[in-house]
Chains A and B, each alone.
Chain A
Amino acid sequence: KNEVEQSPQNLTAQEGEFITINCSYSVGISALHWLQQHPGGGIVSLFMLSSGKKKHGRLIATINIQEKHSSLHITASHPRDSAVYICAAPPYNTDKLIFGTGTRLQVFP
């Protein structure tokens, strides 16, 4: 069992739909990262959060430390949101990240 698990693995949506990607972890962490990887391979950091909720444009990330769960929401999804979304977290007292397996999102017009 991975220490960081994501669901779903694959997600297909129509443009405009509200999307939720989930991340659960079993280790103690100080913060959690949401990353976006486009088909070319490059990775962009979307959020780093340790509590509560953050919003950037149409993206919202939430985390519940007690439940060891985080969600990434995309409102009014668009085809350009098509990418792999990855959650990652460093366990306490380490600089090393544990990565989720990623969620491949495809948004169709």
Chain B
Amino acid sequence: SAVISQKPSRDICQRGTSLTIQCQVDSQVTMMFWYRQQPGQSLTLIATANQGSEATYESGFVIDKFPISRPNLTFSTLTVSNMSPEDSSIYLCSVEGVNTGELFFGEGSRLTVL
């Protein structure tokens, strides 16, 4: 199993500012996934973060807006840059269990942009 610590759990931010969300996993994992969940919607994959290479972004998401760092196999950050009210969402990181495929999620970061 894997335990993921994600922070902050929630934040209220002003338009135009940036916020960095951190995810720490208690075991080494190859890929970490970053998701956005807009109010009333299901999860949308933002990007896949691999250690030692640039993140792979999904259609509609760009590195300038959502820069991701993956300095080692247990940690990753997602920054939401130049925020607008449309960025108000829950952001979640996720990993898959090694050899099991089981999914593990962070507790989520609920972001409100005023």
CB of B9 to closest CB in A, whole Å: 8
Given contacts A95-B31, A95-B48, contact A42 B108 (CB under 8 A): yes
State the interface size on chain B (CB cutoff 8 A): 24
Of the listed stretches B64-72, B75-83, B97-105, name the one at the interface; the rest are far from the partner chain. Answer: B97-105
Is A96 part of the contact surface with B, judged by Cβ < 8 Å? yes
Give 18 A-B pairs besides A35-B105, A42-B105, A43-B105 with Cβ atoms closer than 8 angstroms.
A33-B103, A41-B37, A41-B107, A41-B108, A41-B110, A43-B92, A45-B103, A45-B105, A48-B100, A88-B103, A95-B31, A95-B48, A95-B96, A96-B48, A96-B58, A99-B42, A101-B42, A102-B42
A97 touches B45 (CB 8 A): yes
Size class of the A contact interface (CB-based, 8 Å): 10 to 19
Enumerate A52-85 residues with CB–CB distance to B below 8 Å: none
> How far does the alpha carbon of A42 sit from the alpha carbon of B100 in the complex, in Å?
21
